[in-house]
Amino acid sequence: MRKARINRTKTVCTYCGVGCSFEVWTKDREILKIQTKTEAPVNGISTCVKGKFGWDFVNSEERLTKPLIRKGEEFVEATWEEALSLIAEKLSGIKEEHGPDAVGYIASSKCSNEENFLFQKFARGIMGTNNVDNCSRYCQSPATTGLMRTVGLGGDSGTMEDIMASELVMVIGANPAESHPVLATRIKRAHKLHGQKLVVVDLRENELAERADLFLHPKPGTDIILLNSLAKYFFEQGWEDASFLAERVNGVEEFKASLEKYTLEYAVEKTGLSMEQLLRLAEMIKEAKSVCMLWAMGVTQHMGASDTSTAISNLLLVTGNYGRTGTGAYPLRGHNNVQGACDFGTLPPWMPGYEPVNDEAVRAKYKAAWGVDLPEDPGYDNHHMVEAINKGKMKALYLFGEDMAIVDANSNYVHSTFEKLDFFVVQDIFFSKTAQFADVVLPAAPSLEKDGTFTNTERRIQRFYKVFEPLGDSKPDWLIFQELANRLGADWNYQHPSEIMDEAAKLANIFAGVSYERLEEWESLVWPVNPDGTDTPLLYTDKFGFPDGKARLVPVDWTVPFNPGADFDLHLNNGRILEHFHEGNMTHKIEGLVHKVPEVWLEISPELAAERNLEDGALVGLTSPYGHVEVRVIVTDRVKGHELYLPMNTAEDSEAVNRLTSSYHDIITHTPAYKEMGVKMEVL
């Protein structure tokens, strides 16, 4: 009898942008344990609960193992031949009748760089449209915009080593202790053991806020006023880094003039913070020799999100905190590969490596490589796609690895939009909420069943290796795209994801020196990577990402947050929790994590509990202009006054926070303003 042996395979975590890597110990298909190694570049010490215990979903009986085709109200199992032939016939028919832009392509920030590269190649090179986007539209697009405007590149300025080395870390609108747990542990260590100063700006007194040297709780949606007023105060006091500004930054005088109304008095009035708090923060920034600013969805999910992200970068420029160890801007990427999905071209205006689609030379380069003319105009983003479907301009969607029916804001509206599609392909590992609206559902393989690379929040590219064969008839996403492309007339013959990476490296300048050989096992590369394989952990040491090498101060103003009216008297905030991945896809299939956190709850303040006579466990209904949910409350002083917090994970779609959120969005990137919602609450 064959004895099963224990295998140890290196992988990269799929649960957040920190990008911890570790070994998976397996025997046949059983996962025995997760063990970190000292060689791991981000974190060779420990994992969080998801990294350690969050893997049994790969063997879940709920995994999709066969293609499914809708027949009326039912789905029936099909062969790959039947499913792919149907998709090829429908997509080419819609393209022929309505044009290439009648189809939209939504990519996955949970899937590999190579899969995202191939998906945008399919959309652009085979189907002839730039209508390709990914879930950064729901989270970090405004941060990328803020950085591209001011310093020229959208990625984090340095690595976690820089965050650790900083004298002052300022966390704005982020909850790393639950969303980026290993990073939070490292910040806690730097703070407790190495004297790093910590400032937290948030609505909710989260775990890092409890430890912070200064915790500020401004009124919702007023961060930009705080940031602009600090910039103005620095100029008034003569505290700006004058030589840095003179040598390395454009637009200083225009920016100074734009700050006229942002006095500290105005900031006190609008943010609700005290003058003492503002002055203390200004002194702390001035005294620190190096400052890092970290932010996430508390900043980026607002109508003025791109401008607030710009204001963060402006303040770093004014204070000279770029281009040195321990300085810079760190938008914390949420999904494991949201950075890579964007880097490898699943964004409407950008080819891989952020080379613009409307640049003739860029298109000529791709024509030489792929033999086709690429579309010139930037395509629709996710938000535009929903609108185009409603207007009848878009007829079909192809979406993989994204549960848009739960994730997108105003989900009741999104569901009704999906019902208008002529044809909808969903490719996933589970029969998601979104799959319920599909015409064809394709079974994909998760990361443990394929090879590939992910890019973490630091811009660090790491390899993961196949642990198991794909379950049932499921297949790696890249292979599905190849088989479909070849049915549509292509002649793709990739034998392994490494060949896809080789192609990306030849085409996109920032990946010039990336190869699987240079990424063997625990090796990693932080882009931009030069042809000789040298990489760039710290950006902007000599020049910023604009042709003249200088950064730009960009004037930005406050956008008054969306408010649905006086009837909706409570402010609803939302976010992640430690134990579940975002909305709970994958982690809700894991017994131990579900046992620990089986359902969602609503945090209410002691003041509100007293006012409404509520205790822990009471059932309440929340109503916004867009929908209604019912949920039990927890009374906690983490939230204050009339502010509520509803985590986004949910076992039941009927409890999901996006039943309540609106279609209002960041003015520039169209990222939904998830954090701007008023609700009313009734006791049930």
Give the residue with the Cβ less far from ligand SF4, 108 or 277.
108
d(Cα 227, Cα 305) in Å, to the nearest integer?
13
Q: Is 404 helix (H, G, I), strand (E, B) or coil?
A: helix
Q: Minimum distance from CB of 167 to ligand SF4 (Å)?
A: 24
Q: Minimum distance from CB of 558 to ligand SF4 (Å)?
A: 33
Give the residue with the Cβ less far from ligand SF4, 133 or 156.
156
Q: Minimum distance from CB of 15 to ligand SF4 (Å)?
A: 3
Q: Minimum distance from CB of 21 to ligand SF4 (Å)?
A: 8
Give the residue with the Cβ less far from ligand SF4, 556 or 578.
578
Q: Minimum distance from CB of 6 to ligand SF4 (Å)?
A: 22
Q: Minimum distance from CB of 91 to ligand SF4 (Å)?
A: 35
Task: State both tokens at 655.
Answer: 């409890």
Half-sphere exposure of 450 (CA within 13 A, CB side): 27
Give the residue with the Cβ less far from ligand SF4, 181 or 331.
181
Bond into 528 cis (ω within 30)? yes
d(Cα 265, Cα 253) in Å, to the nearest integer?
22
d(Cα 610, Cα 620) in Å, to the nearest integer?
15
Give the residue with the Cβ less far from ligand SF4, 20 or 312.
20
The residue written with tokens 């359902």 in the block is 599
Give the residue with the Cβ less far from ligand SF4, 454 or 481.
454
Q: Minimum distance from CB of 328 to ligand SF4 (Å)?
A: 20
H or E stretch at 518: none
Q: Minimum distance from CB of 302 to ligand SF4 (Å)?
A: 25
Q: Minimum distance from CB of 169 to ligand SF4 (Å)?
A: 17
H or E stretch at 622: strand 619-624
Q: Minimum distance from CB of 631 to ligand SF4 (Å)?
A: 25
d(Cα 353, Cα 343) in Å, to the nearest integer?
5
Task: Summarize as ranges the residues that interact with ligand SF4 (CB under 6 A).
Answer: 13, 15-16, 18-20, 47-48, 50-51, 180-182
Give the residue with the Cβ less far from ligand SF4, 19 or 528.
19
Q: Minimum distance from CB of 122 to ligand SF4 (Å)?
A: 28
Q: Minimum distance from CB of 43 to ligand SF4 (Å)?
A: 6
Give the residue with the Cβ less far from ligand SF4, 180 or 270.
180
Q: Cβ(529)–Cβ(514) under 8 Å?
A: yes
Q: Cβ(649)–Cβ(597) under 8 Å?
A: yes
DSSP assignment string, 195-251: --EEEEE-SS--HHHHH-SEEE-PPTT-HHHHHHHHHHHHHHHT-S-HHHHHHHEE-
Residue 413: how many other CB atoms lie within 10 Å: 17
Q: Minimum distance from CB of 14 to ligand SF4 (Å)?
A: 7
H or E stretch at 625: none
d(Cα 25, Cα 12) in Å, to the nearest integer?
13
Give the residue with the Cβ less far from ligand SF4, 13 or 425.
13
Residue 153's Cβ-count burial label (10 Å; 0-12, 13-18, 19+) is buried
Give the residue with the Cβ less far from ligand SF4, 50 or 232.
50
Q: Minimum distance from CB of 330 to ligand SF4 (Å)?
A: 15
Binning the chain into helix, strand and coil, the percentages to the nearest 5 are 35, 20, 45
- C-alpha angle 207-338-20 in degrees, rounded to nearest 5: 60
Give the residue with the Cβ less far from ligand SF4, 50 or 137.
50
Give the residue with the Cβ less far from ligand SF4, 151 or 182.
182
Q: Is 258 helix (H, G, I), strand (E, B) or coil?
A: helix
Give the residue with the Cβ less far from ligand SF4, 18 or 84.
18
The residue written with tokens 């131990």 in the block is 592
Give the residue with the Cβ less far from ligand SF4, 13 or 660.
13
**How many helices (H) does the chain have, and how many strands (E)?**
24, 28
Pair type for strands 103-106 and 74-77:
unpaired
d(Cα 353, Cα 350) in Å, to the nearest integer?
8
d(Cα 133, Cα 105) in Å, to the nearest integer?
7
Residue nearest to ligand SF4 (CB): 51
- C-alpha angle 581-584-590 in degrees, rounded to nearest 5: 90
Q: Minimum distance from CB of 20 to ligand SF4 (Å)?
A: 3
Q: Minimum distance from CB of 186 to ligand SF4 (Å)?
A: 10
Give the residue with the Cβ less far from ligand SF4, 233 or 464.
464
Q: For residue 676, which amino acid is it?
A: E
Q: Is 293 helix (H, G, I), strand (E, B) or coil?
A: strand
d(Cα 634, Cα 74) in Å, to the nearest integer?
40
Could you tell me which residues come within 8 angstroms of residue 369 by beta carbon, excluding any fewer than 6 positions away? 503, 506, 507
d(Cα 578, Cα 313) in Å, to the nearest integer?
28
d(Cα 577, Cα 596) in Å, to the nearest integer?
12
Residue 421: how many other CB atoms lie within 10 Å: 18
Give the residue with the Cβ less far from ligand SF4, 37 or 487.
37
C-alpha Rg value of the chain to the nearest Å: 24
